[in-house]
A and B are shown apart, each in its own frame.
Chain A
Amino acid sequence: MRVALFATCLIDALFPDAGKATVQILERLGQRVEFPLEQTCCGQMHANSGYFEPTLVKRYVDTFEGYDAIVAPSASCVGAIHHQHAMIASAADDEALATRARQTADKTYELSQFLTDVLDTDDVGAYFPHRVTYHPTCHSLRMLHVGDRPQRLLKNVKGIDLVELPRNDECCGFGGTFSIKNPDVSAAMLADKMEAVIETNAEVLCAGDRSCLMHVGGGLDRIRAGIRTLHLAEILASTDREAAR
């Protein structure tokens, strides 16, 4: 099986640790991972702001269609690949690209899906002795329907003190450019999410999307809450020899 990592533009640019962690987990489980350097962005930020970019869809398809499986540590980006790529190609009257986009999307997995469904494991041999709360992001919950896959993976992490986040199905208020176009509503939603996180007394907030974590983490940093954010991959990559910080 030829496996490619789609790191996503956000992780490539700003959160390389989540990308490194994804590689570490996959290699620990015996997979050889490739990172094709032609990859950039899935185009979701453009599409959700009203700018359809078939060139980004084409770049994704050209880069990844030769692989057997593509893994991305982001439910949101995988959601866009599944639900938007073909639509964007069709909107540009490129049905050939739409067909290829659908085929490539079918082979594209979010990390927790790939681990549990393709590699058939919910114990990746991780060790992380900290109090953690998990925020199921909107797109993992309602677009990709990953269900309890991430929680199953987290429960098997040795040493972890996993506490449930109250009202965890509520959006954190990020929504891509929504956070800029409607900053006041976004901040109001964020305030409630931070309150829920603080209520858990957790030391780490974990999620499968670095974008939502950038938002909640940005709010927690602003009020000096002393709670850090880690991507699901970072906790799953953590071992007693090499702990995530």
Chain B
Amino acid sequence: MNSQGEVIWTDDPPFAQNAKQAVHNSQLRRNVRNATATIRQRRAGLVAETPDWQELRHAGAAIKDDVLHHLDDYLTQFERNATANGAHVHWANHADEANQIVTALVKQTGQTEVIKVKSMATQEIGLVDALAQDGITAHETDLAELIIQLSHDKPSHIVVPALHRNRAEIREIFAKHMPDAPQDLTDDPHELAEAARLHLRRLFLKTKTAISGANFAIAETGGLLVAESEGNGRMCLTLPDTLISVVGIEKLIPTFRDLEVFLQLLPRSSTGERMNPYNSIWTGVTENDGPQQVHIVLLDNGRTNALKDTTGRQALRCIRCAACLNVCPVYERTGGHAYGATYPGPIGAILTPLLVGVEHAPQLPFASSLCGACYEVCPVEIDIPTVLVKLRHDAVKAKPHRAEDATFAAAASAMSGRRRWTAALKAAKAMRFIRQAAPPPLNRWTRTRDLPAPPAEPFREWWRKR
């Protein structure tokens, strides 16, 4: 693990090579296609019935932009209000620091086991592994995260991290890895859910410390909000004595009232629901009600780097709904693991390089056909295609690629004047010899596609003769 934690799993995630494996995995293809198609259709239906959807998107983007422009003010306001309400606020520059803070806080409680609410920030910093190194076992309690944890797998989606698994595979994982699973477990979804429920209930009742993230941090009140579907998050947020929340600094919203916008945008975009089944909000400590020790770790881990990029900073508006994953034709065919990073899909292809530096993830901005479906559904109007193109430019500048640089320079030169271009057009005739088997790198085209037959004459020849 590096100082960014698990934002990327290896330096320079080799997307093209990973994708080559993934597209041949028929089970994965089917699972991802079925899952994304279901959520996609539900979302589309709900957006169609919301007449002010575009206004909501504008409002969501505007609120987040205000936060990003005045981040220092909102952060100190949040710290002040959270502290006044009895929470302890900690600041972490990077993953290592956040992990050290959380580990020390858990050690103070004297506990060696903690329960976890599903959280991208804790995935991003690799918290579970960091705690394990200090002898602390963290149990994931989100059903999908539990499936991932039991099978020593990695999440492949931001909202539904086990969507690459179907119920037959989940039955097998439970039977093999969940010690208290019933002997005669079938792949009936109700039975699987019941087995997980009983397993988790035992953990909820005995564990004294919980760790969460947050969907929103409200500057005006110092409160945090977690939105979820199962209620397992609420168990973790209310039953234990100590609650530690790791929150990215971009999660802020100015006022409680701003939730009006986001609690309409988020459930429709993420799970295709009109509202989240569970919205839990807590503001510091409430006497004799819920955790009496409340800690909040505010996490940078590359976010201020992203903020420096005037085009890329809009990625920090992201509310982790994953609508862009569910409509992405690339993600649909590769799943999330191919991206080699905590945040997959279109948002991951921009957020990851923005957080860790494009030189550490230079392939990711190219993992897109720029079809624009992501931008169209984004509830906070992140222009992902434009940021992708900008990051491609940064990637090209960051590291020379001699052959490719030379090819594009030669093309630009051929296009730099009428004479040169006319001469270049003549060369197109040679294409007829390589239509089905071109030399590298064009063979990557001709392995699956023919090249067109070159015309008798280019357009401009016809024009000159008429």
What's the Cα separation between A186 and B371 when bound, in Å? 12
Q: Given A35-B460, A48-B389, A219-B449, are A56 and B376 neighbors across the interface (CB < 8 Å)?
A: no
Task: Collect the chain B residues with CB atoms within 8 Å of residue A13's CB.
Answer: 424-425, 428, 458-459
Contact A218–B449 (Cβ < 8 Å): yes
* B residues contacting the other copy or chain, number (CB 8 A): 65
Q: Is A215 an interface residue (CB 8 A)?
A: yes
Contact A171–B371 (Cβ < 8 Å): yes
Contact B459–A11 (Cβ < 8 Å): yes
Contact A217–B448 (Cβ < 8 Å): no
Task: Collect the chain B residues with CB atoms within 8 Å of residue A219's CB.
Answer: 448-450
Contact A217–B452 (Cβ < 8 Å): yes
Q: Pick the residue among B396, B449, B457 that contacts A190 (CB under 8 A).
A: B449
Task: Collect the chain A residues with CB atoms within 8 Å of residue B373's CB.
Answer: 138, 142, 169, 171
A125-133, A151-159, A176-184, A196-204 - the one binding chain B: A176-184
Task: Collect the chain A residues with CB atoms within 8 Å of residue B461's CB.
Answer: 16
The A contact surface, by secondary structure, is: helix
Q: Is A50 an interface residue (CB 8 A)?
A: yes
In chain B, positions 323-350 with a C-beta closer than 8 Å to chain A are 329-330, 333-334
What's the Cα separation between A111 and B453 when bound, in Å? 24
Q: Pick the residue among A181, A221, A222 that contacts B366 (CB under 8 A).
A: A181
Q: Is A240 an interface residue (CB 8 A)?
A: no
Q: Given A50-B396, A55-B416, are A182 and B367 neighbors across the interface (CB < 8 Å)?
A: yes
Q: Given A55-B416, A170-B329, A181-B16, are A20 and B23 neighbors across the interface (CB < 8 Å)?
A: no
Q: Pick the residue among A83, A84, A189 that contacts B329 (CB under 8 A).
A: A189
Closest approach, in angstroms, between the C-beta of B30 and any C-beta of chain A? 13
Contact A20–B421 (Cβ < 8 Å): no
Closest approach, in angstroms, between the C-beta of B432 and any C-beta of chain A? 11
Q: Is A243 an interface residue (CB 8 A)?
A: no
Task: Collect the chain B residues with CB atoms within 8 Å of residue A49's CB.
Answer: 392, 396, 404, 408
What's the Cα separation between A50 and B399 when bound, in Å? 12
Residue of B nearest to A171 (CB): B371
A36-44, A64-72, A99-107, A113-121 - the one binding chain B: A36-44
Contact A138–B395 (Cβ < 8 Å): no
Q: Given A41-B415, A51-B412, are A175 and B370 neighbors across the interface (CB < 8 Å)?
A: yes
What's the Cα separation between A15 and B445 when bound, in Å? 18
What's the Cα separation between A50 and B386 when bound, in Å? 11
Q: Is A7 an interface residue (CB 8 A)?
A: yes
Closest approach, in angstroms, between the C-beta of A219 and any C-beta of chain B? 5
Task: Collect the chain B residues with CB atoms within 8 Å of residue A15's CB.
Answer: 452, 455
Task: Collect the chain A residues with CB atoms within 8 Å of residue B404's CB.
Answer: 49
Closest approach, in angstroms, between the C-beta of A34 and any C-beta of chain B? 10
Contact A14–B366 (Cβ < 8 Å): no
Q: Is A47 an interface residue (CB 8 A)?
A: yes
In chain B, positions 394-419 with a C-beta closer than 8 Å to chain A are 394-397, 404-405, 408, 411-412, 415-418
Contact A214–B452 (Cβ < 8 Å): yes
What's the Cα separation between A38 and B417 when bound, in Å? 7
What's the Cα separation between A35 and B107 when bound, in Å? 75
Task: Collect the chain A residues with CB atoms within 8 Å of residue B451's CB.
Answer: 218
Task: Collect the chain A residues with CB atoms within 8 Å of residue B334's CB.
Answer: 185
Contact B408–A222 (Cβ < 8 Å): no
Q: Is A59 an interface residue (CB 8 A)?
A: yes
Q: Given A19-B459, A170-B329, are A178 and B366 neighbors across the interface (CB < 8 Å)?
A: yes
Task: Collect the chain B residues with CB atoms within 8 Å of residue A143's CB.
Answer: 372
Q: Pick the residue among A9, A38, A55, A188 that contacts B23 (CB under 8 A).
A: A188
What's the Cα separation between A70 and B458 when bound, in Å? 20
Given contacts A178-B370, A183-B444, list 5 more A-B pairs with CB under 8 A.
Answer: A17-B455, A50-B365, A55-B416, A218-B449, A222-B448
Interface of B with A (CB < 8 Å)? 15-16, 19-20, 23, 29, 329-330, 333-334, 365-373, 375-376, 386, 389-390, 392-397, 404-405, 408, 411-412, 415-418, 421, 424-425, 428, 431, 436, 441-442, 444-445, 447-452, 454-455, 457-464
Top 10 nearest A-B pairs (CB, nearest first) are: A175-B369, A218-B449, A50-B392, A50-B396, A142-B372, A171-B371, A16-B459, A138-B371, A183-B444, A40-B415
Interface of A with B (CB < 8 Å)? 7, 9, 11-17, 19-20, 23, 35, 37-38, 40-41, 45-53, 55-56, 59, 83-84, 87, 91, 138-139, 141-143, 169-171, 173-176, 178-190, 214-215, 217-219, 221-222
- Residue contacts A-B, CB under 8 angstroms, 18 given: A7-B460, A12-B459, A35-B460, A37-B464, A51-B412, A87-B386, A142-B371, A143-B372, A178-B370, A179-B444, A180-B441, A180-B444, A181-B366, A182-B15, A187-B447, A187-B448, A190-B448, A219-B449
